[in-house]
């Protein structure tokens, strides 16, 4: 998508589909059953392009579902391709842990959670913040 100069802006687990529903067979148990089900293919498709933007479009409005929203979006800096990369990172943590990384509905709490996980936000980001928290 990014090679086409498109930014999805709403990547979340619900918008990522596995191409194949076929499972691979892993580790046969003594009773003949299989202990793990894993997808045969890791190929995915993205869906819901309703919020997709070209890289030259206005990027000053709020994008992304709250739990997958990048700090620059919350701070009002505008956004670009990195907002998609941030969302993918949050999704990968969720897939590995089974928990939403930033489960909140408030900007200040969201930023505090980010700092708890990643350390302090860079000073230049805070100084450029459109919103004061």
CATH number of 103's domain: 1.10.510.10
Domain assignment present for residue 133? The answer is no
**Residue 13 belongs to some domain of the structure:** yes
**Which two tokens mark 125?**
């980001």
Q: What is the mean pLDDT of residues 128-133?
A: 79
Given the residues 10, 31, 48, 84, the one annotated as active site: 10
Q: How far is CA 75 from CA 47, 83, 102, in A?
A: 27, 12, 16
Which pair of structure tokens corresponds to residue 40?
């045969």
The confidence score (pLDDT) of residue 78 equals 94
Please check whether residue 58 lies inside any domain of the structure: yes
CA 21 to chain centre: 22
Q: Is residue 88 part of a domain?
A: yes
* Residue 102: inside a domain: yes
Active-site residue flag, 55: no
Q: Is residue 132 part of a domain?
A: no
What domain count does the chain have?
A: 1
pLDDT of residue 133: 67
* Residue 42, CB-side half-sphere exposure with 13 Å CA sphere: 0
CA dihedral 66, 92, 102, 115 (to 10 degrees): -120
**pTM for the structure as a whole:** 0.87
127 versus 40: the higher-pLDDT residue is 127
Residue 31 lies in a domain: yes
By residue range, what is the domain housing residue 38?
Answer: 2-127
As a whole number of angstroms, the distance between CA 61 and CA 73 comes to: 8
- 89-96: Cβ within 8 A, 24+ apart: 91/11, 91/12, 91/13, 91/16, 94/13, 95/13
Domain assignment present for 25: yes
pLDDT value of residue 22: 86
* Closest among 18, 5, 9 to 88, alpha carbons compared: 9
């Amino acid at each position: 998508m990014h090679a086409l100069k498109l930014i999805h802006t709403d990547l979340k687990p619900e918008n990522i589909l596995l191409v194949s529903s076929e499972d691979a067979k892993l580790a046969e148990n003594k009773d003949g059953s299989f202990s793990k089900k894993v997808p045969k293919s890791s190929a995915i498709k993205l869906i819901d392009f309703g919020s997709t933007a070209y890289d030259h479009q206005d990027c000053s409005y709020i994008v992304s579902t709250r739990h997958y929203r990048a700090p620059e979006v919350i701070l009002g800096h505008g956004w670009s391709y990195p907002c998609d990369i941030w969302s993918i990172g949050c999704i990968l943590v969720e897939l590995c842990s089974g928990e939403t990384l930033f489960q909140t509905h408030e900007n200040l709490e969201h930023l505090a959670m980010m700092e708890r996980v990643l350390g302090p936000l860079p000073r230049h980001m805070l100084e450029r913040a459109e919103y004061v928290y």
